[in-house]
Amino acid sequence: MCSLIFLKMKHKLILTFFVLPLLTMGQEPLHYWGKTDSFLVAQANETFSLIHEILREQPPSTEFSTLRKSALLHVDWILHDTRLDQSTSIYRFMQERMQLIAEDLLKPVKTGMKVYKLYNHGFIVKTNKATIAFDLYRGVRQDKEPYIANALMEQLVKQCDIMFVSHRHSDHADWEVAKMFINQQKTVVVPTGLWADKGHYIKQMRSEDIIEDKITLANQAVLNVKVMPGHQDDVPNNVYIVTTPEGISVAHTGDQWSKDKDGWIDHVKDHSDVDVLLVHCWAMPLEKMANGFNPKLIINGHENELTHHSVDHREPYWLNERRMRLVKQPRVYMTWGEHYTYKK
């Protein structure tokens, strides 16, 4: 009887020794034969993990290191595989990157201006006295929560004082985000005609001439604002130049694109001293925009827009760099969730 019990116990120990490791390994498969979708998701997760690590070790700089170039190229590779558009991998990556911004926005800025890069052509700039948002957009996933979850976007909006919206296209004018600002009694500046009946927190500004105005924030800080009469084809597209109370000027181009209407671009430098130009990466030609504004620093946006754009118009970072070769002004290449501190 004792021998039988011992044999059963021994058999149980042997099973435990071999089966448990197999079960543990089963949580992260060692083979994906016949499971293409699972393979692609696992590969994306591993790549995103590496991207996080490189970006942490190599923060944005005017010196574009080989490691940073590699990280951004890896971002391109994943985001140009349309099979992953609705995946949890990209969604999780976006949440992690935006959470970095939400946490950093809580820190005071003593000198200079921090520029945070969000999805699409969305930016937040923060100085000691003002936090300004441009074209914040959550992104669209089919029948799922947006790429930037609503709760996380609420956190970001809470840290902002005001938002400027360039034009009516839904990948720039996100009404749900605008409502977050309105609910927090914060101004949203838009082109005339957009959200005209949505209350007094919507401030409409538009003319075929340059508009100059002052906007007082809730903390009594005053922004000097110029609105340039830009277009995307026939759609009015406000190009904003906002000067913070500290005297730092930032310009945001929206989707400025017009072959024959906007000669004012060539002369911005004659009346405005622009510190940072936030320009959409597919502006044509980029050197015309850069020379017209002549900023101290250029930061591109609008790379890798998902869902709305086919692969050929998901503007990659490698093509971004190619387009910038004729631009003489200093530039910083950034991806989602990063920030760069500009000092005048």
Confidence of residue 309 (pLDDT cuts 50, 70, 90): confident
Instruction: Give percent of the chain above pLDDT 90.
Output: 83
Percent of the chain scored above 70 by pLDDT?
A: 92
Flag the least confident range among 21-30, 179-188, 216-225, 250-259.
21-30
Mean pLDDT across 5-18 = 40
- The mean-pLDDT minimum among 35-39, 116-120, 216-220 falls in 35-39
Q: What is the pLDDT of residues 88-111, one digit of tens each?
A: 999 999 999 999 999 999 999 999
What average pLDDT does range 202-229 have in this prediction? Answer: 97
pLDDT at 74: 97
CA distance 160 to 124: 8
Assess whether pLDDT exceeds 80 at residue 312: yes
pLDDT band at 308 (very low <50, low <70, confident <90, very high): confident
Specify the higher pLDDT residue, 3 or 38: 38
How far is 166 from 292, CA to CA, in rounded Å? 19
List the single range of 13-27, 128-142, 204-218 with lowest mean pLDDT. 13-27
Mean pLDDT of 289-306: 96
- Average pLDDT of the segment spanning 26-30: 77
pTM of the shown model: 0.90
Q: Are strands 331-332 and 222-232 parallel, antiparallel or unpaired?
A: unpaired
Please choose, from the candidates 80, 3, 99, 84, the residue with its C-alpha nearest in 3D space to the C-alpha of residue 45.
Answer: 84
Q: What is the pLDDT of residue 18?
A: 40
**pLDDT value at 149 more than 60:** yes
- Non-local (6+) Cβ contacts of 198 within 8 A are 178, 182
Closest by CA position to 282, among listed 252, 257, 247, 299: 257
**pLDDT higher than 60, residue 130:** yes
List of domains in the chain: 37-342 (3.60.15.10)
Is the confidence at residue 118, as pLDDT, over 50? yes
Mean confidence (pLDDT) of the chain: 91
Rounded average pLDDT over 4-33: 51
What per-residue confidence (pLDDT) applies to 1?
45
Region 151-179: what's the mean pLDDT?
A: 98
Q: Residues 77, 51: contact at Cβ < 8 Å? A: no
Amino acid at 222: V
Long-range contacts of 242-245 (CB under 8 A, 24+ apart): 242/132, 242/164, 244/113, 244/125, 244/127, 244/129, 244/130, 244/132, 245/127, 245/129, 245/130, 245/221
pLDDT score, position 243: 98
Tokens coding 225: 């604002």
Tell me, what's the pLDDT at 29? 87
The DSSP annotation for 238-280 comes to EEEEEE-TTS-EEEE-TT-B-SSS-GGGGGHHHH---SEEEEE
